[in-house]
Chain A
Amino acid sequence: MANFKKFWIPILFIILAIFPPFFLSQYWLHVMIISLFYVMMASSWNLIAGFTGQVSFAHAAFSGVGAYVSGMLAVNLGLSPWLGILIGSAVAALLGLGLGYLCIRMGGIYLSLTTLGFSEILRIIITNEDKWTRGTMGLQVPGFFAEYSKVSNYFLFLIVAILFLIIIYRIIHSEMGLSFRAVLNDELAASSSGINTVRVRVLAFTISSAMAGMAGGLYGHYLMLITPDIPSLGQMFLVLAMAVIGGMGSFVGPIVGSFALEILSEYIRIYGEYHVLLFGLVALGVARFAPEGMMGILNRRWRGRGLS
């Protein structure tokens, strides 16, 4: 029974995910694509925060690095976006490795402080070096497909998101994932049983930064306009809120959170820019009263019903 659920439920969802382009309007297809971008971001952020307990505030910044590296290569050297996003995520991975190496040995607080600083600095550089980045005007970049099509972009995002999710699933259910959880539960015990806690955390941080870089590159070339909003702290907050509200430390949580918040924010947008304030208050309430998020609440309810 467990095996049946494990394999068939994801496959069912993937099959269902093939159909939206055939009946959704262009507008809702766009919302779906953006949701898939947030799935990539929130799930990869959850890989470090939810599974190793490291709070990085540079996840949006790394997606910005991916987007701008790829975008500037395309604009200045005429490099294909397909190659560009690979280079972009490699650069994000290298920066992640550097920051991770410097901070993680000093403890979680240092990583949070330094990644926050990194985001802020990146924003200042991008807005001021407008010769290269076009500043707040935004950098116009080519798309992935010669002929602009939301349907092709939808499938591209779907494939990459599924790929990320498979990698994340494999990591958290591998020996490495076991050591992640060991580090999260009891750092002292984990390190005394021979797990190099610092190396495990730096590795997780690097992988997750690379994923953010890739997601950012895809996002930039899909919108065909890269602005400093991509690496902003506001964007970081949205990703964090999606993971927290959906359920941190759960594989499904950030996926549910991304779709829920992105679709919801489309409805709230009619009333003005209040969605950040609203999501913030909801995220505070969830972090305070239900730290396992929506998935935690649902799981408890299901388990409760099973018992009665």
Chain B
Amino acid sequence: MYLTNGMVMGVINAISAIGVSLIVGIMKVVNFAHGELYIFAGYFSYHLSTSLGLPPLLAMPLSIFFVFLIGILMERTLIRPTYGDEMYSLIITFVLSIVLQNAALLIFGPYPNKPPNLVSGATNIFGLFHYGNQRLLSFGISIGILVFIFYLIKRTWFGKSIRAISQDRGMASLMGVDHLKVNMVSFGLGAALAGAAGVIIAPIFPVTPTGSSAISLTAFVVVVLGGMGSLKGCVVGGLILGILENLGAAYISTMYRHIFGFVVLILVLVFRPWGLFGQKTQ
């Protein structure tokens, strides 16, 4: 049971972490406003489906699309001028996360909101225990998104240009890749992945504006654990952390759920700072 919960959380962690990892790998920018985008998507899907009465199946992709647009806007107005200056991009995204968090408190209020479930009831799993259909569906959707992302990056022309730019930006642009456009789209994609994780989790665990830093933190731990810029690392790291947090919360203490993530982070930095699948570079 805890293992299954951990796996559901794990794949959602993986989606959110790939959003961070994509941006780090391509632009060497850490998006500290990641958790806020996740929260925004959760609220969008709540308001679209509950306040406006859209069917949840339409509200979910629409929320993700809105967050994608926010990501594009962020890149275009604030992040693009900071390329090559790591310090300013860190400062700007941190300030942005505080601004968005306060904006969310102002717009959505401090109360957690829960969009409607897509399905109800529970299914018996291998005759062992009953498990909520909503969670099973979330698991399925998450796997679908992961497959889609891997396909996008490994098999399409867009993915090829992303990989080319993360290896050698100068050479890639000489070869005719429009690196500014790729940056913008991948920042939007990173934001959209935060949004996807947000809309998937919202019906299971309602989102609140103040929960955003814990969400960013989980994604960062997964990225460091898996190795910066590695997609495979995000999936494995996400699953490890999801299972670990759920087992830890069940057997040690719920209060300290997020402490396990930090302990993992410190252990990785001590013993294997380049992560599970990262490249050992100087």
CB atoms of B220 and A113 under 8 A apart:
yes
B64 to chain A, nearest CB (A): 25
Q: B77's closest neighbor in chain A, by CB?
A: A288
Q: Which residues of B contact A112 (CB under 8 A)?
A: 30, 32, 90, 94
Asked if B258 CB lies within 8 Å of chain A CBs, one says yes
Of B47-55, B99-107, B186-194, B234-242, the stretch lying at the interface with chain A is B99-107
CB atoms of B92 and A113 under 8 A apart:
no
B28 to chain A, nearest CB (A): 7
Partner of A120, one of B28, B98, B258, B270: B258
A285 to chain B, nearest CB (A): 10
Of A3-11, A100-108, A204-212, A299-307, the stretch lying at the interface with chain B is A100-108
Quick one: given A124-B256, A277-B102, A283-B95, are A118 and B90 in contact (CB under 8 Å)? no
CB atoms of A114 and B265 under 8 A apart:
yes
Chain B 11-42, CB within 8 Å of chain A: the 1/0 string?
00000000000001000101010000000000
CB atoms of A106 and B81 under 8 A apart:
no
| Majority secondary structure, A binding face | helix
CB atoms of A102 and B269 under 8 A apart:
yes
Q: Which residues of A contact B88 (CB under 8 A)?
A: 287, 291
Q: Which residues of B contact A105 (CB under 8 A)?
A: 273
Chain A 177-205, CB within 8 Å of chain B: the 1/0 string?
00000000000000000000000000000
Asked if A234 CB lies within 8 Å of chain B CBs, one says yes
CB atoms of B87 and A237 under 8 A apart:
no
CB atoms of A121 and B259 under 8 A apart:
yes
CB atoms of A117 and B102 under 8 A apart:
no
Quick one: given A244-B91, A277-B103, A283-B95, are A109 and B30 in contact (CB under 8 Å)? yes
Interface size class of B (residues with CB under 8 A): 35 or more
A49 to B91, CA, bound (A): 10
CB atoms of B258 and A109 under 8 A apart:
no
CB atoms of A280 and B102 under 8 A apart:
yes
Asked if A128 CB lies within 8 Å of chain B CBs, one says yes
CB atoms of A124 and B255 under 8 A apart:
yes
CB atoms of A113 and B99 under 8 A apart:
no
Partner of A108, one of B87, B103, B213, B228: B87
- Taking CB atoms and an 8 Å cut-off, the chain A residues in 263-304 that contact chain B are 276-277, 280-281, 283-284, 287-288, 291
Q: Which residues of A contact B30 (CB under 8 A)?
A: 109, 112-113
- Taking CB atoms and an 8 Å cut-off, the chain B residues in 230-282 that contact chain A are 255-256, 258-259, 261-262, 265-266, 269-270, 273
CB atoms of B255 and A55 under 8 A apart:
no
Q: Which residues of A contact B221 (CB under 8 A)?
A: 117
CB atoms of B270 and A102 under 8 A apart:
yes
Asked if B96 CB lies within 8 Å of chain A CBs, one says yes
| Majority secondary structure, B binding face | helix
How many A residues face the partner with a CB closer than 8 A? Answer: 38
Q: A116's closest neighbor in chain B, by CB?
A: B217
Asked if B58 CB lies within 8 Å of chain A CBs, one says no
Chain A 234-248, CB within 8 Å of chain B: the 1/0 string?
100100110010000
Asked if A144 CB lies within 8 Å of chain B CBs, one says no
Asked if A154 CB lies within 8 Å of chain B CBs, one says no
A179 to chain B, nearest CB (A): 18
CB atoms of B262 and A284 under 8 A apart:
no
Partner of A118, one of B92, B94, B214, B262: B262
Partner of A117, one of B87, B103, B217: B217
CB atoms of B269 and A124 under 8 A apart:
no
A55 to B265, CA, bound (A): 18
Q: B32's closest neighbor in chain A, by CB?
A: A116
Partner of B224, one of A110, A125, A287, A288: A110
Asked if B178 CB lies within 8 Å of chain A CBs, one says no
Partner of B87, one of A49, A110, A124: A49
Asked if A53 CB lies within 8 Å of chain B CBs, one says yes
Asked if A160 CB lies within 8 Å of chain B CBs, one says no
Partner of A287, one of B92, B106, B261, B266: B92
Chain B 204-226, CB within 8 Å of chain A: the 1/0 string?
00000000011011001100100
Asked if A68 CB lies within 8 Å of chain B CBs, one says no
A237 to B96, CA, bound (A): 10
A114 to B228, CA, bound (A): 14
Chain A 66-108, CB within 8 Å of chain B: the 1/0 string?
0000000000000000000000000000000000001101101
Q: List 29 A-B contacts (CB under 8 A).
A: A49-B87, A53-B86, A53-B87, A54-B87, A106-B273, A108-B87, A109-B28, A110-B224, A110-B273, A112-B90, A114-B265, A117-B261, A118-B262, A120-B214, A120-B262, A121-B258, A121-B259, A121-B262, A128-B256, A244-B91, A244-B95, A276-B98, A277-B103, A283-B95, A284-B78, A284-B99, A287-B88, A287-B92, A288-B81
Residues of B bordering A, CB below 8 Å: 24, 28, 30, 32, 77-78, 81, 86-88, 90-92, 94-96, 98-99, 102-103, 106, 213-214, 216-217, 220-221, 224, 228, 255-256, 258-259, 261-262, 265-266, 269-270, 273
